[in-house]
Amino acid sequence: MTTTTQAQPHRSAAGVPADARQLVGFWFYRVSPEWRRLPATTKRQQGDELLGVINRFGKRLMVLTYSLVGMKPSVDFLLWGVGRRLEELQELAGAVQQTALAGYLSTPHTYLSMTKRSTYVDTIDPEHQEQRRFITPAHSKYLFVYPFVKSRDWYQLSFEQRQAMMDEHIRVGSKYPSVRLHTTYSFGLDDQEFVVAFETDRPQDFLDLVMELRETKASRYTRIDTPIFSCVAKPFTEILADVGVG
Distance from C-alpha of 120 to C-alpha of 167, rounded to nearest angstrom? 9
- Contact between residue 214 and residue 159 where contact means Cβ atoms under 8 Å apart: no
pLDDT of 17: 63
Q: Are strands 77-83 and 105-114 parallel, antiparallel or unpaired?
A: unpaired
Quick one: which of 32, 90, 34, 30 has its CA closest to 60? 90
User: Each residue's pLDDT tens digit in the chain (246 positions)?
Assistant: 433 334 444 444 445 565 789 999 999 999 999 999 999 999 999 999 999 999 999 999 999 999 999 999 999 999 999 999 999 999 999 999 999 999 999 999 999 999 999 889 887 765 655 566 799 999 999 999 999 999 999 999 999 999 999 999 999 999 999 999 999 999 999 999 999 999 999 999 999 999 999 999 999 999 999 999 999 999 999 999 999 986
- Distance set, CA 127 to CA 132, 139, 170, 200 (Å): 9, 20, 13, 20
- Contact between residue 47 and residue 40 where contact means Cβ atoms under 8 Å apart: no
Distance from C-alpha of 182 to C-alpha of 227, rounded to nearest angstrom? 17
Domains of the chain and any CATH numbers: 23-113+232-243 (3.30.70.1030), 117-229 (3.30.70.1030)
Which residues, 6+ apart, have CB-to-CB distance to 168 below 8 Å?
216, 217, 218
Distance from C-alpha of 158 to C-alpha of 52, rounded to nearest angstrom? 50
Which residues, 6+ apart, have CB-to-CB distance to 99 below 8 Å?
46, 49, 50, 53
- DSSP-assigned letters across all residues of 11-62: B-TTS-BTT---EEEEEEEEE-HHHHTS-HHHHHHHHHHHHHHHHHHTTTSE
Give φ, ψ of 105 to 5 degrees: -110, 145
Strand partners, 142: 200, 232
Q: How far apart are the first and last CA of the chain?
A: 70
